[in-house]
Structure 1
Amino acid sequence: MALLPGLADSPALWRGGALAVPAAPGIPTGFPALDAVLPGGGWPVGVLTELIAEREGIGELTLLLPALAKLSGEGRWIAFVAPPRLPYAPALAAAGVELSHLVVVQPEGADARLWAIRQVLASHAFGMVLAWLDEAGGAPLRRLQLAAEGGSGAAALFRPPAAARQSSPAALRLRLGLTCGRLAIEVLKRRGPRVCEPVILDLPRAVRSHAVVRDLPPQPAAAGLPARHA
């Protein structure tokens, strides 16, 4: 069927066999090989991106540091919502992140976590939101995707390994693993043709030399219960 006049040239039209061209350019990742496979040439803005690491601490946060440094250096705010570990200020500063533009939100409970993530995503105050979420069904994820569409920054949602086997409304889904000491990024989903080979990256040695996160301090214990880590 022929397209309506003018529709074929509309930037809002996306053909499944072509890489989508978003309304706003992406935020450069700092890794040209990764930018080349991402719609918009970087971390997409106004959509939800899922980062699914095979295990914690393989470089999933380090992957975002160039973008965090760029955004915070431009005066944009960065939000960490429900991180499992406390962001390690010396490592972030060493990577060029302006700590004065970093906000950490640590809600208590699953419902409060989802609410906080949704509110921060929908805010226009942040250049990038990093959030951690374990179990989530399709409906909560759709609400997060809609919230991201209402915001004006990039949104990175860290998910557990099992999430790779589940469907998700997120516009971009990346699975992260290690191969020969290098970070392997498999594009599980994007608005464009399938990426058959993983993107292999060498993370900066200066950043890999020390952790980016530290264990959170013990949470206050309820009466009669021992303190535990979040």
Structure 2
Amino acid sequence: MLPAVFWQEDDPSPAPIPVRPVPPPAGGLPAAVAAALWRGDQLGAPVSAVWPSGFAALDAQLPGGGWPGHGLTEILTPHSGTLEWRLLGPALRQVCAAGQAVVVIGPPLSPHLPGLRFEGLDERQLVWVQADTAAERLWSAEQLIKAQAGGAIVAWLPRARAAQIRRLQVLATGFESPVFVCRPMHALGESSAAPLRVQACVGVDWELQLRIAKRKGPPLEATLHLPSVPGGLATILPPRLREPSRWMPRTEENEHVVVRPAAQPERRHSPAH
């Protein structure tokens, strides 16, 4: 018996439908994808609310234009306990004005209430967690972040390890308000999961000198000079003391001057008798 002849039209499978490629939009990417795309040479767009820092020059260099929520911000200073208040005071003032609490954990110095009032911080909105050991500070920070406590959290963790900072960062992603972790300057040489790291030190003319060591965006090589006269002195400083650098000798003009110790008179010993 001869085999049956197979005809193409007897094939039960449907013929494949040709797929025409969809041309990409003019910009190269769909609008939704382009809006969510972040390029490494650009400042990151905010994924949540941000809080203005109170310094226009600093906001211009922070992703989203202010202190971010849903993540840690590290404040690195050479001497803990004073510069943090001057840097964060304008932002914390807004938190207090909104009727929310500012929670501080383990500050190295007791908060000076009269000075905080000059900065516009209401002590009734200030919650001070007195934690002495590193373990107590870390545990308190974790629990407060989990509990979504307050409108801002400021924790001093000078001995925190990289794994502990990473754990806090994971917890902070679920906390809408800003979380600041204050650490010593030498911690800059350690790895950190915090998406934003800021170095702060004191300059002349009552200013803060800031360097953004890490941010979502290109590195910032320049140093920011932010005017920051303490609130208690702003109304009593005379103009001359507001800019002391104007009255200081310039280094370039005195480079040829060599200071030597004054010659000591030669000592003469009395002859022995």
Q: Shared topology, TM-score over 0.5?
A: yes
Deviates more, 1:25-34 or 1:101-110: 101-110
Q: TM-score, normalized by length of structure 1? A: 0.83
Amino acid at match of 2:221: C
1:8 is aligned, of 33, 46, 51, to 33
Give yes or no for contact 1:66–1:95 (8 Å, CA) kept in 2: yes
1:160 is aligned, of 169, 177, 184, to 184
2:116 is aligned, of 83, 86, 92, to 92
Q: Distance in 2 between matches of 1:108 and 1:56?
A: 15
Q: Is 2:250 the partner of 1:204? A: no
2:5 is matched with which residue? none
2:80 is matched with which residue? 56
2:50 is aligned, of 9, 23, 26, to 26
| Structure 2: stretches of 5+ with no match in the other structure | 1-23, 235-273
2:174 is matched with which residue? 150
Q: Distance in 2 between matches of 1:207 and 1:169?
A: 36
Q: What SS does the corresponding residue of 1:104 show, helix, strand or coil?
A: strand
Deviations 1:100-145 (A, max 9, x none): 1110112242222211111112332311111001112221110111
Change (3 A) 1:205 1:97: closer
Q: Which has the higher strand share?
A: 1
1:126 is matched with which residue? 150
Q: Report the identity percentage.
A: 36
Task: Tell me the number of residue pairs that the alignment of Structure 1 and Structure 2 aligns.
Answer: 207
Q: Is 2:28 the partner of 1:36? A: no
State the shift of 1:57 in Å. Answer: 5.2
1:187 is matched with which residue? 212
Max radius of gyration: which structure? 2
Give yes or no for contact 1:58–1:177 (8 Å, CA) kept in 2: no
Q: Distance in 1 between matches of 2:133 and 2:81?
A: 23
1:104 is aligned, of 128, 137, 155, to 128
Deviates more, 1:2-11 or 1:152-161: 2-11
Q: Distance in 2 between matches of 1:57 and 1:83?
A: 6
Q: TM-score, normalized by length of structure 2? A: 0.70
1:170 is matched with which residue? 194
Deviations 1:29-75 (A, max 9, x none): 11100110011111111110001012235622111111111111111
Amino acid at match of 1:191: K
Q: Distance in 2 between matches of 1:71 and 1:128?
A: 7
Q: Distance in 2 between matches of 1:39 and 1:25?
A: 11
| Structure 1: stretches of 5+ with no match in the other structure | 210-230
